[in-house]
A and B are shown apart, each in its own frame.
Chain A
């Protein structure tokens, strides 16, 4: 607006900036400080140890490496699998039949459900003594399947739950992308005799790129955070094989041992990993969006 000074705008943004400083920036700075302390709540003393926590957590053989690797591998694999699954479903439901729109409506349901409840339902479904999936497996001749108690089954079991829970997010976003593809171009391509694959490769996919970027970005961000699923379905087990970063940090800082120094150090490193993976994508997405925004 021409006749309102930028100062008014700054004042309007002030509550937000203040709140962020107190509730986001300060806690992160505080975490950085705690990571320099030897502080276990079960002991009375707090000592300043410098970077010793980092040395400990990054020493060879530290379980932190396994958790970090597992978390990154998990995020990359579920994002990839869910993307292709969702793309398939989005192309499938992108037609004007009653069945297709019914299925589309259904995909909203998993996204609105309490995540912890979803994990509990799947724990019941997988349950070795009374779970329906266990029963169906026995019909197929698989007796005593260990969905959550043995590797590598447990990873696939977890991925299946994640697909059920989060592929709908990608499906809905990709449907929105498909709807933005100009119909005239597709019709022109059909007239020119282009097959389904060529239409997708040269028209649909290029138009959907920004939307795909956003879908992948958000899915990557959230899959790195995975905690509920591990807590409910496996509790880090069998052994410590499904201990993701969120679970590891939680368990050794607040859940089991009260080692604040470890928790803070792990948190700082976790945040670094997440930023390194997500910020570049976010910047690209942001540029794309402001670019298309200007075009409109």
Chain B
């Protein structure tokens, strides 16, 4: 009895020391987490706040945080100039997404399910499109489009974006299709469905998540692209990123108006991306890491 009493005393003390250490550690972790969150929010905060300033207060120095918010930059007068660019971005992004899905999904199905010659080589070649810097393709596309009359057309930009989207479509969907059981396809085949029917009626309904992720990635990628659109568009098909960048060179940059358009511009991408948040890592790594 005596010994147990003697033993419990220092143990109690060390327990208390451990608890204190754990509490300090938890506190430090929380401080670090808040710092990381603040780091990410800092530019976003200024983007949003600056967009609510008027043409005068945006030039205040030191930059003000407390001010009467003005919706001047979001007014119809300012934004009406941008409707056309939004339309261009939407047309190009939606069509290129659709085109790359139509071309790529059968290819993904083929790589997922069939034993075809040089399968790995094909998969690797498709993946290697992801490596090509967009700038490297500018000179040939610029000249090809010039000769084919595709310069400054929707079609030209759609064709180029569909090409850069293709590795996403094929690699992400391949992974998704491989993860669904084969039995349903075999049954459909016995019922006399041809391969296209099996794909559209059996496989694709079971692989909705894969299609959604790819569609979002293709859309966001086309929506956000700058260098290709910059080189291949002029007055008729200019997309928002190009129009935004063209405002940087002028002498007096109205950041508030740029940022108002910028805020509206990231809304569609963010909303779509939130829908597939669960598969975000899978999309980013073309299915190589299953998040």
Contact = CB atoms under 8 A, between A and B. Distances in A.
Contact of B170 (A16, A97, A110, A285): A16
Interface residues of A, number: 97
**A24, A92, A93, most chain B CB atoms within 10 A:** A24
Contacts of A17: 107, 122
Interface in B220-264: 220, 223-224, 226-227, 231, 240-241, 244-245, 248, 255, 258-259, 262
Contact of B140 (A15, A30, A224, A225): A30
Contacts of B166: 16, 19-20
Contacts of A232: 245, 248
A99 B290 contact: no
Given A6-B117, A116-B226, A172 B255 contact: no
Contacts of A24: 129, 132, 163
Given A12-B107, A120-B248, A289 B288 contact: yes
Main secondary structure of the interface of A (DSSP, over half): helix
Contact of A1 (B36, B140, B186, B220): B186
B281 A176 contact: yes
A51 interface: no
A16 B33 CA distance: 45
Interface residues of B, number: 98
B284 to A, nearest CB: 6
B270 interface: yes
Interface string B252-286: 00010011001001100110010001001100110
A10 B114 CA distance: 8
Given A114-B262, A116-B241, A34 B132 contact: no
Nearest to A108: B280
B284 A173 contact: yes
Nearest to A134: B61
Interface stretch (A52-60, A143-151, A185-193, A275-283): A275-283
B115 A227 contact: no
Contacts of B262: 114, 117, 120-121
Contacts of B127: 282, 286
A31 B139 contact: yes
A158 interface: no
Interface stretch (B2-10, B37-45, B68-76, B78-86): B37-45
Interface string B29-63: 11011101101110110110010000000111111
B128 A218 contact: no
B227 A250 contact: yes
Contacts of B142: 253-254
B159 A112 contact: no
Contacts of A61: none
Interface string A203-232: 000000001001100100100110110011
Nearest to B111: A13
A40 B254 CA distance: 36
A112 B114 contact: no
Contact of A214 (B134, B189, B226, B289): B289
Contacts of A245: 133, 135
Q: Considering the complex of A and B, which 7 residue pairs feature the smallest CB-CB distances, nearest first?
A: A9-B114, A16-B107, A27-B140, A12-B110, A176-B291, A23-B163, A12-B106
27 contacts: A1-B182, A13-B111, A16-B106, A19-B162, A20-B126, A27-B141, A31-B136, A31-B139, A31-B140, A106-B40, A113-B224, A116-B245, A117-B47, A117-B244, A117-B266, A122-B43, A138-B62, A164-B40, A176-B289, A177-B289, A214-B285, A214-B289, A232-B248, A250-B227, A270-B136, A274-B131, A289-B288
